[in-house]
Chain A
Amino acid sequence: MSLADHRLGGTKSTETTLPAAAAGSRKGTKTHTDTGGGRRRRPRHHAEGLEAGKRSTRTLLWILLAAAMILYGFPFLYLLFTSFKTPIDTIAVPPTILPREWTLENYTNALGRSGVLASFINSTQTAIISTVLSLVLAVPAAYGITRYKTPSGRVFIMAALVTRMVPPVAIGIPLASMMSAAGLADTPIALSIAHTTISLPLSIWLMSSFFEAVPQDLEEAATVDGCSRLGALWRVVIPVVSGGIAVTAIFAFLASWNEFLFALLMTAVRSQTTPVVIANFQTQFGLDWGSMTALAAVYSIPVIVLTLLLQRKIVAGMTLGAVKG
């Protein structure tokens, strides 16, 4: 039987709830999502596609999901709970899940340590510089690649993709010696440049996808109206892709914020970022687990909160390259 004419027109299509699925695919952007409300009004209507229809099946699936979420969420909750234990309780045998006594001692210990607050400033500074640098370089490049489709553009985007495959450990050491030769040793600038080698290829890739979605008539109209090509890019195209720029910025920021290997190789006293400080806790202070968990929590919570707030954008960025294929 033909699949195409099966129930054609008999189903209600809505835009998918996932922005990226729509943005990422040029083919089928419509998908079938049945709302809970619809099902309740028409109890005998079966859910469409893969969505489970039977009430008993759905209950089972929800139980499964709850179990998965608890398992998945537990490690970080345990880290949080541990950070509120007294230093002795953190290494109690057998361990307890909840603190016997809630205290902020680990936090005051960790944040009071010399260099810890400075490392937060370094991390923020490095991530911001690297994000800006990445955007300033990636946005025009991606525009040049997608808008003009020259052979060199195609070579360039493949080269950028290849760069993503370079193991950081392979370039980390030559890069570090280049930086010290340039007099940039142990500065946030040097580390930002190193982080940009990671985020730039991804940014070019992401921005290219966003530019693909912009209709060319837009800047053609602007150039007819007397705008220069740069003027059209700046005044017409950039505002249209500002959402994409935001997505790219988040990814560049996160890449730098969480990066460790370059930070380990290229920073010493002045520009050390928090991941390196966290790792150093192991050796320098003889396994102070309490302070380590507290510092890890402080470092993670801002980005987790930020991401949950901006989740639509994050999801868009993450699925874009992949679903587009």
Chain B
Amino acid sequence: MRISDRRFAMFLMTPAALFLAIFVAYPLLRLVTDSFFKISPMAGGPRDFVGMDNYLRAFASEAFMGAGWRTLAYTLVVVTLEFALGLGMALLFTMLGRNSQIWRTVFLYPLMIAPIVAGLLWKFLMIDNFGLIGTLMHQAGLLANPNQIGWLSDPNIVLFSVAIPDIWLTTSFMCLVLFAGLQNIPGDLIEAAKLDGARAPALLFRIILPLLRPVIAVALVVRGIDAARAFDTILIQTNGGPQSASETMSLLIYRTMIRFGDPGLASAMGTIYLLAMLGVAFFAVATIWRPGKDN
């Protein structure tokens, strides 16, 4: 007996679809339902339906709104900086041509390091008193004393400091993707532009960047999603402090759930966060990325 192609395709996809339904869709459903209840953190504790109360509490809470803005700022800082650095490195590698191959490989190494290790490492470099960065800047004459900048203790700059490991970890990814995109730009085009007298900035902004647009779009979407979910690096560096100045959405939800034992409120926050992420991501995918369509 021969089954139809359509059935056979279904048969192949079913196990993965079931897995995602059970272990992603179902927990998400539980998250959404939990968000309408006031739940005691104790197992088997009371569970009262409170309607939209958790949502109202979330939007009324300064911590939640603050975390939202910080997550946005954090994502912008991380993605912008790593895009600029990644593009610079990709251009550098391209201009050096084939000889740079071994260095491209070495440049990949931070991608393999666990975010928790990267966070720890940079905390060690930036920490007050025995952090190396302050000491080196002091020795170079940039700072009057090694502790002048409280990288992880000054609420005004801590959100930037905790972003550094993330940027360090994933600039390689950005560089690699952009480098691959650069390889697909026909050399003739660049040559012709050069003959026409195009200088470096014109070459970059008028030819290279427009041609790289689809690749740039994908890289920004992928990294944007990841940066907005940052957790490990921030948790180990500051745990959201000082004074919540580095508390992003993932951390706030985690702490609301675990520390403050309020699963209902945490679920409402998680649902809003999820909807926001999906909204932004859908918009980005539909308008910028368009997977599967030829640009």
Q: Which A residues contact B (CB, under 8 angstroms)?
A: 1, 3-4, 6-8, 11, 16-18, 20-21, 24-25, 27-29, 31-36, 47-52, 57-58, 61-62, 64-65, 68-69, 72-73, 75-76, 78-79, 82, 91-95, 97, 136-138, 140-141, 143-145, 147-148, 150, 152-154, 156, 159-171, 173-175, 177-178, 193-194, 196-197, 200-201, 204, 229, 254, 257-258, 260-261, 275, 278-279, 282, 289, 292-293, 296, 299-300, 303-304, 306-308, 311, 314-315, 318-319, 321-323, 325
Contacts and interface: CB of A to CB of B under 8 A. Distances in A.
A313 to B, nearest CB: 12
A92 B135 CA distance: 12
Contact of A137 (B15, B96, B106, B290): B15
Given A167-B273, A197-B24, A323-B180, A153 B121 contact: no
Contacts of A257: 114
A165 B226 CA distance: 8
Given A92-B130, A141-B12, A200 B19 contact: yes
Given A28-B186, A325-B215, A165 B225 contact: yes
A294 to B, nearest CB: 12
B253 A170 contact: yes
Nearest to A16: B183
19 contacts: A18-B180, A49-B190, A50-B182, A51-B97, A69-B107, A73-B106, A78-B132, A137-B16, A140-B12, A141-B13, A153-B9, A161-B291, A169-B253, A170-B28, A171-B31, A194-B23, A258-B112, A275-B117, A325-B289
A306 B112 CA distance: 9
Contacts of B15: 136-137, 140-141
Nearest to A13: B187
A174 B17 CA distance: 19
Nearest to A69: B103
Interface string B125-164: 1000111100100100000001000000000000000000
Interface size class of B (residues with CB under 8 A): 35 or more
B180 A24 contact: yes
A174 B34 contact: yes
Contact of B94 (A36, A50, A141, A150): A50
Q: By DSSP majority rule, is chain B's interface helix, strand, loop, or mixed?
A: helix
B125 A178 contact: no
A204 B292 CA distance: 14
Contacts of B218: 321-322, 325
Given A167-B229, A289-B124, A307-B112, A61 B95 contact: yes
Contact of A174 (B30, B222, B249): B30
B12 to A, nearest CB: 3
Contact of B108 (A1, A137, A311): A311
A145 B17 CA distance: 12
Contacts of B177: 318-319, 322-323
A35 B98 contact: yes
B184 A28 contact: yes
Given A69-B106, A170-B253, A315-B108, A31 B192 contact: no
A65 B96 CA distance: 9
5 closest cross-chain pairs (CB), A and B = A49-B187, A144-B12, A32-B187, A141-B16, A174-B27
Contact of B110 (A72, A164, A204): A72
B87 interface: no
Given A141-B17, A161-B291, A170 B274 contact: yes
B222 to A, nearest CB: 7
A76 to B, nearest CB: 7
Interface stretch (B45-53, B73-81, B231-239): B231-239
Contact of A36 (B23, B98, B173): B98
Contacts of B245: none
B100 interface: yes
A80 to B, nearest CB: 10
A284 B295 CA distance: 53
Nearest to A6: B192
A17 B277 contact: no
A95 B131 CA distance: 7
Interface of B: 5-6, 8-13, 15-17, 19-20, 23-24, 26-28, 30-31, 34, 89, 91-101, 103, 105-117, 120-122, 124-125, 129-132, 135, 138, 146, 168, 171, 173, 176-177, 179-192, 195-196, 208, 214-215, 217-219, 222, 225, 228-229, 231-232, 235-236, 249-250, 253-254, 257, 263, 266, 270-271, 273-274, 277-278, 281-282, 285, 289-292, 295
A68 B92 contact: yes
Contact of B120 (A3, A69, A145, A292): A292
Nearest to B254: A169
Contacts of B254: 169, 261
B180 A197 contact: no
A303 B292 CA distance: 32
Given A141-B15, A292-B120, A322-B218, A49 B191 contact: yes
B99 A322 contact: no
Contacts of A73: 106, 109
A112 B232 CA distance: 25
Contacts of B228: 167
B19 A8 contact: no
A133 to B, nearest CB: 8
A113 B119 CA distance: 22
Contacts of B107: 69, 72
Nearest to A92: B130
